[in-house]
């Protein structure tokens, strides 16, 4: 991706940090960026929603963000996912998205998946499910998910998948946020 032409000639590319961290969104700027990036991906880019992509799960979902670093400091939100419990011990992950600039860096999706499943596992998850767009099924299979059945979400083909929790050690349960309102 070219961002500018250097005054001495030649193209200047934007810097893409290779250092990525994923965590439960705790700061207001992280939560605002979480909803903004979700809208950019699922509403603007993929056109899955005409307006907001917020739904009834956002009231209790735990938002997780992947962030890039510059000089060891958090820089920007570059990926998002949410997790939520639908019944005791039954958790779902969804709305996983990565900024278009960072999609070639596979570490972002991996960080989001690891953090989402491990966080839910630490909060008592016994089964973790995800609705995954068909083109991303193989990526999730590499992350120890298995397809349960094909489904349709927003009129597009998806797969209902389940994570093998043996590959995701429980993270601290205190990180789960409950009762958060959609932006």
pLDDT band at 55 (very low <50, low <70, confident <90, very high): confident
pLDDT band at 57 (very low <50, low <70, confident <90, very high): confident
| Residue 47: strand, helix, or coil | coil
- C-alpha atoms less than 13 angstroms from C-alpha of 100 in its C-beta half-sphere: 8
Task: Output the pLDDT for position 65.
Answer: 96
Among 78, 80, 82, CA closest to 100: 78
Average pLDDT over residues 75-84: 92
Model's pTM, two decimal places? Answer: 0.84
- Among 70-74, 138-142, 149-153, which is the least confidently predicted range? 70-74
Pairing state of beta strands 127-133 and 90-98? parallel
Average pLDDT over residues 123-146: 95
Among 84, 95, 77, 175, CA closest to 125: 84
User: ∠ CA(156), CA(160), CA(166), 5° rounding?
Assistant: 145
Pair 109, 98: CB distance under 8 Å: yes
Per-residue model confidence as pLDDT tens digits over 146-163: 999 999 888 889 999 999
Domain annotation for the chain: domains and CATH numbers: 17-175 (3.40.630.30)
Pair 65, 103: CB distance under 8 Å: no
Q: Is the dihedral of CA 55, 92, 81, 153 positive or negative?
A: negative
pLDDT band at 43 (very low <50, low <70, confident <90, very high): confident
Task: State the distance between the two ends of the chain, measured CA to CA, in whole angstroms.
Answer: 30
More confident residue, 101 or 121: 121
């Amino acid at each position: 991706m070219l961002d500018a032409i250097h005054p001495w000639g030649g193209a200047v590319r934007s810097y893409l940090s290779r250092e990525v961290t994923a965590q439960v969104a705790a700061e207001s700027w992280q939560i605002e960026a979480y909803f903004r990036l979700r809208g950019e991906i699922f509403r603007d880019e993929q056109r899955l929603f005409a307006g907001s992509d917020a739904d009834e799960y956002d009231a209790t979902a735990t938002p997780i963000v992947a962030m890039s670093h510059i000089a060891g400091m958090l820089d920007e939100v570059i990926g998002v996912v949410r997790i939520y419990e639908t019944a005791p011990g039954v958790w779902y992950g969804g709305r996983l998205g990565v900024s278009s600039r960072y999609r070639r860096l596979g570490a972002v999706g991996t960080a989001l998946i690891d953090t989402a499943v491990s966080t839910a596992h630490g909060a008592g998850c016994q089964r973790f499910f995800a609705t995954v767009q068909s083109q991303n099924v193989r990526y999730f299979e590499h992350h120890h998910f298995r397809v349960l059945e094909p489904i349709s979400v927003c009129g597009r083909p998806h797969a209902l998948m389940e994570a093998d929790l043996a590959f995701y050690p429980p993270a601290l349960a205190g990180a789960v946020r409950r009762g958060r309102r959609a932006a």
